Amino acid sequence: MAIEIERKYEVKLHLWEKVRPQECLHIRQAYLSSDNATTVRIRTSNRNAYITIKGKTIHLSRPEFEYPIPYDDALQLMQLSTLSIVEKNRYEYMYKGKKWEVDEFLGSNKGLIVAEIELEQEGELFSIPEFIGEEQTADPRFRNSNLAKTPYETWQNRS
């Protein structure tokens, strides 16, 4: 079984702008199902497409299964979603041997920038780049599946 161990952080925009890489990947995702136990996501990036099934998060870990699917199938599956499409530009930033993924959200989530790091184990130590702000791993608002339900632009208290 594949396990995802991930931590999420807000990004300090003024510091991120100084180190932001030129290249990014444009991502669109739709959620076919999302509750506390299971999430089913369809994602496209460039001409690639994936279906991802994620289980319930316990501490920082959750089961994750991701499979490539035909791009045209992904577009049709995305139309089945009753939630908003989550759209973002993803940047990869290497820092002291670890890859950080920084997502700059678009559309109804514009203005939200979140950095994620995937770990090998929950207690793993890692260095934090200067542009990383407050940790938001435990805040469910920052989950992409929840951004499809309650976009950033609707948050009353944005921090």
Supply the pLDDT for residue 36. 82
Full-prediction pTM beyond 0.85? yes
Catalytic pick from 9, 31, 93, 152?
A: 31
Q: Can you tell me the distance from the alpha carbon of 136 to that of 50, in angstroms, rounded to the nearest whole number?
A: 26
Told to judge if 31 belongs to the known catalytic residues of this protein, a careful annotator would answer yes
Fold classification of 3-154 is Hypothetical Protein Pfu-838710-001 (2.40.320)
pLDDT of residue 81: 97
The residues spanned by each domain of the chain are 3-154
Residue 42 and residue 105: Cα distance in Å, rounded?
17
pLDDT of res. 156: 81
pLDDT digit string (tens) for 48-69?
Answer: 999 999 999 999 999 999 999 9
Positions of the chain with pLDDT under 50: none
